[in-house]
Amino acid sequence: MNRLTRIEAEQNSAQDAPWWRGASIYQVYPRSFCDSNGDGIGDLPGVTARLDHIAALGADAIWISPFFTSPMKDFGYDVADYCGVDPIFGTLDHFDALVARAHELGLKVLIDQVYAHTSDAHAWFAESRQDRTNPKADWYVWADPKADGSPPSNWQSVFGGPAWTWDARRGQYYLHNFLSAQPQLNCHRTEVQDALLAAARFWLDRGVDGFRLDALNFAMHDPALTDNPPAPDDGRARSRPFDYQLHLHNQSQPGIPVFIERIRALCDRYGAVFTMAEVGGRQALGEMHAFTAGDARLNSAYGFDFLYADRLTPALVAVAQANWPESDGMGWPSWAFENHDAPRALSRWCAPGDRDAFARTKIALLCTLRGNPIIYQGEELGLVQVDIPYDQLQDPEAIANWPQTLSRDGARTPMPWVAQDEQGGFSQGQPWLPLGEENLARAVDRQAADPASLLNLTRDLLALRRSSPALKLGGFEVIHADPALLVVRRQDNGQAVLGLFNLGTAACAWPAGLAAQGRELIALNGAAAGQDLPPFGTLLIEETN
């Protein structure tokens, strides 16, 4: 294929793909992104003021974690009004201004939708709990006690303790898979689905470009309330009663894909809207495939393969990618190494002295994966997990399970914008969580001025990915994988990019028989084509025919 023909083919491939396929997504945790009013909590005007940073990074879209009206017992994932903005974060006018500015900058806007549960402060629950005959009596999961007064099943909450709470007004238990303040919606009911779809329509009408659907496999339960069987001991750590069960009946029910098809049909009426499922648990892969199968379900699923892994290895990458083959009817994966629920990757995957070199290799690998790379705010700066003292913890899970559960607060610390500012340019007031001295030293202003910084490398990688059909849309072939060295090829319409990643702390020999010809795109940590790869050495090479 000559060069002109190849360029034409690449352009046609890119034009045929929907905007979200291969898009780079930047996750904003609004509580910790930027505070515009000095109360120490980030807000929507603060996000709007800093959108230029995300656009300059080269992201295609932003995903904003919940900002809806909420008592904030689970920081917005306990929704009290699906169509309202919590005053902590601003107003609907502020949200509209954010969307308008994002679109001006060429950024798509994705938001969370939480369909498995609401807050117990939601008006729907207030009505449902009044008695057993009101119009919303069965909008939540209610059940009588057993003859001895105990809960109707053995189901356990993710956050610890039974998944059932007694309500004296109804004389029944209600189900909650998370906090007792997060009662489970009965999504088996068409009326409940209709109400949730109306909320989605509300935000689509305001210009959002897609949704991340939180805890989607928890959206339905077994109506027979069958006890869950015990989980076999597979060597995994068990810090909660939840860990001792196979969750066959409190989640993951066969009616969920039917509801998903209703969500997709609504979104399709608004054009190229992106839908991404969050699915966790032991059976997550099968459910993710089911939730994204064909053209009538969701576009993508949010993989957990890396979020809680204690090491980043070639085998982990190879298996994760092999689980999403290019085949008819197969969905499209989305990948994150970090998020608001998982410990910062640099604190899990490498020694403190290796963080600078490893961070460069890590971000290059994320940008090379087939799927949508999701960058969590501050990942482009190399932020690390902050150790939050018990008396400053905000995370209800960490408080309930302390000290066994590593606090989510340590990954939710405020974004450092200005290194010389005590509050990091995040707020003029006292931030709701401490920034951490190491993270403050990695502030945006300091890295923006340093051509060799991780921030500027991330900009280069995202620009490369956007311009490369192979990296954005191509297949993923593992050429070599041993305990430290990963070699992959991304290929699409005549362009092939070879990626070599030494994920170990010792040098690796150049793989025997691997050609080194081509145009060097990225070389990190002293790597050079055809030579031994130094620790964390990384190369991206556009291969020549």
Alpha helices per DSSP H over 423-504: 437-440, 444-448, 454-467, 469-473
- Tokens linked to 458: 């991330």
Based on the domain organization, do 436 and 507 belong to the same domain? no
Q: In the chain, count of helices (H) and strands (E)?
A: 16, 18
5 belongs to a structural domain: no
125 Cβ contact list (under 8 Å, min separation 6): 118, 119, 139, 140, 183
Q: State how far the Cα of 213 lies from the Cα of 218, in Å rounded to an integer.
A: 11
Q: Is the pLDDT of residue 84 over 90?
A: yes
Of 444, 464, 484, the position where a domain reaches its end is 464
> Mean pLDDT in the chain?
94
C-alpha dist (Å) from residue 134 to 131, 137, 444? 6, 5, 54
390 belongs to a structural domain: yes
Of 14-28, 195-209, 327-341, give the lowest mean pLDDT range.
14-28
Based on the domain organization, do 248 and 197 belong to the same domain? yes
10 belongs to a structural domain: no
Q: Residue 321: what residue type?
A: Q
210 belongs to a structural domain: yes
What's the pLDDT tens digit per position in 202-241? 999 999 999 999 999 999 999 999 999 999 998 888 888 9
Q: Is the pLDDT of residue 305 over 60?
A: yes
C-alpha dist (Å) from residue 385 to 43, 173, 340, 453, 478? 22, 38, 11, 19, 31
Based on the domain organization, do 412 and 527 belong to the same domain? no
- Kindly report the backbone phi and psi dihedral angles of residue 258, in degrees, each rounded to the nearest multiple of 5, phi listed first: -65, -40
Query: pTM for this one?
Result: 0.95
Catalytic residue (one of 78, 278, 379, 397): 278
Based on the domain organization, do 503 and 401 belong to the same domain? no
Based on the domain organization, do 232 and 362 belong to the same domain? yes
Q: Token match 């109400």: residue?
A: 195
Contact 432, 41 (CB under 8 A): yes
* Tally of domains in the chain: 2
pLDDT > 90: what percent of the chain? 89
Based on the domain organization, do 488 and 369 belong to the same domain? no
pLDDT for res 154:
98
What's the pLDDT tens digit per position in 446-500? 999 999 999 999 999 999 999 999 999 999 999 999 999 999 999 998 999 999 9
302 belongs to a structural domain: yes
Full DSSP string of 293-322 = -SSSS-SEEEE-TTTT-SS--HHHHHHHHH
338 belongs to a structural domain: yes
pLDDT for res 406:
64
Q: Token match 């810090």: residue?
A: 239
- Tokens linked to 159: 């956050």
Three-state SS for 122? coil
Full DSSP string of 21-61 = TT--EEEE-GGGT--SSSSSS--HHHHHHTHHHHHHHT-SE
Q: Token match 């593992």: residue?
A: 478
CATH number of the domain to which 507 belongs: 2.60.40.1180
Contact 44, 98 (CB under 8 A): yes
What confidence tier does 112 reach under pLDDT thresholds 50, 70, 90? very high
Based on the domain organization, do 381 and 526 belong to the same domain? no
Based on the domain organization, do 483 and 451 belong to the same domain? no
Range of the domain at 493: 474-542
Q: Token match 């805890």: residue?
A: 215
Of 464, 492, 513, the position where a domain reaches its end is 464
Please give, one letter per residue, the 3-state secondary structure of 143-162. ECCCCCCCCCCCCECCCCCE
Based on the domain organization, do 493 and 417 belong to the same domain? no
pLDDT for res 10:
42
Contact 163, 227 (CB under 8 A): no
Nearest to residue 215, comparing CAs of 386, 432, 66? 66
Three-state SS for 538? strand
Catalytic residue (one of 10, 35, 112, 214): 214
pLDDT > 70: what percent of the chain? 96
What's the pLDDT tens digit per position in 129-161? 999 999 999 999 999 999 999 999 999 999 889
174 belongs to a structural domain: no
Based on the domain organization, do 278 and 327 belong to the same domain? yes
CATH number of the domain to which 77 belongs: 3.20.20.80
Of 422, 437, 464, the position where a domain reaches its end is 464
Q: Is the pLDDT of residue 405 over 50?
A: yes
313 belongs to a structural domain: yes
Based on the domain organization, do 362 and 314 belong to the same domain? yes
What confidence tier does 7 reach under pLDDT thresholds 50, 70, 90? very low
Query: Strand 108-114 and strand 61-64: pairing?
Result: parallel
Residue 278 known to be catalytic: yes
What confidence tier does 70 reach under pLDDT thresholds 50, 70, 90? very high
Residue 16 known to be catalytic: no
Based on the domain organization, do 527 and 413 belong to the same domain? no
Q: Is the pLDDT of residue 389 over 80?
A: yes
Longest dimension (CA), the chain: 78
